[in-house]
Structure 1
Amino acid sequence: MRHLLKTVSAAAAVAAGVLTVSAVSTGAAGAATPEPTGLYAPSDLVLTVGQGEDAATATVQRAVTLSCAPRATGTHPAPRAACAELDSVEAKFDQLVDKAPKGVCTKEWNPVVVSAAGVWQGKHVAWTTTFGNPCMKNAAIANGALLNF
């Protein structure tokens, strides 16, 4: 009887080992060969505007999504214009902010943070900038589509 129990226990252990190795092998093979999802490198961003001094502590007031490949979509109010603008500066967001904005704004300190995070043409991007107040933000980005949402 003892011999029979040892044989059954050994057979069960071998079967469990085979199933484990089979499951691990199948999972590794599936993970090693990812399927392509399209012909375009991903270009998906989340753009936010928040009240505060930096993106980590700001209270987000608005957020939009923008996807530019294969076509412009998302919750951004002007996705085509925003994607074209971003493409024209090769995702260098600082080029979209006017360093010497025209207009008259007060000097009150009421900081506004604008940020972008995601993937642009397959590469991770993260950008943030802080304006002294909403008037300064609006004056600095008045001519662009991407940051006006």
Structure 2
Amino acid sequence: MRFITRSLGLSSVAMGLAALTALAGSGAAGAAPSGADSLYAPSALVLSVTDGDDAASGTVLRAVTLVCAPRAGGTHPAPAAACSEIRANGPELDALAQPRQDSACTREWAPVTVTADGVWQGRHLSYSYTYANSCGLRNSTGVLFDF
């Protein structure tokens, strides 16, 4: 039964990614002139938090969508702030995973992995970072994975 749960979780993330990619590329929110694909490069991601140190074999605990072009949206609780963070850091998201200076966590090993998969400014983006435990995730500097 656990295998089915994982398969459904990853399938749901994949379906969300496909839908977001189609939505971001359609120019629906900022309609392009006739004959043009879009005025904006697609920027749509599926963000997830997975139990374990391998996103491919772990159980997806939660996932959100984030669309950044032509305007911030999706199911992320703070899409404008998350889009601003990605713009400021480019596709190198490790800066957003760093712990805050004033944070303190136990040293237990109960890993959680965050992922960002989709299209950023018209290019494929696939990012993954594993925290030692959920405290590390809660105490990271960015809002991108704060959902």
Q: TM over 0.5: same fold?
A: yes
Given that 2:99 and 2:136 are in contact with CA atoms closer than 8 Å, whether structure 1 keeps it comes out as no
Within 5 A, what are the aligned runs for 1:91-130? 91-98=91-98, 101-130=101-130
Give the Cα–Cα distance (whole angstroms) in 2 for the partners of residues 67 and 100 of structure 1.
26
Q: 1:133 aligns to what?
A: 133
Q: 2:59 aligns to what?
A: 59
Deviation at 1:147, TM superposition (A): 1.5
Q: 1:80 aligns to what?
A: 80
Q: 2:143 aligns to what?
A: 145
Matched letter for residue 68 of structure 1: C
- Post-superposition, which runs of at least 4 consecutive aligned residues in structure 1 deviate over 3 A? 99-102
Give the Cα–Cα distance (whole angstroms) in 1 for the partners of residues 66 and 98 of structure 2.
22
Q: 1:72 to 1:115 in 2, by over 3 A?
A: same
Deviation at 1:99, TM superposition (A): 5.6
Deviation at 1:57, TM superposition (A): 1.0
| Gapped regions of structure 2 (runs ≥ 5) | 1-34
Which SS does the other structure have where 1:113 is aligned? strand
Aligned length: 113
Q: Identity across aligned pairs (percent)? A: 50
Question: Which one is further off, 43-52 or 130-139?
Answer: 130-139
Deviation at 1:100, TM superposition (A): 6.9
| Gapped regions of structure 1 (runs ≥ 5) | 1-34
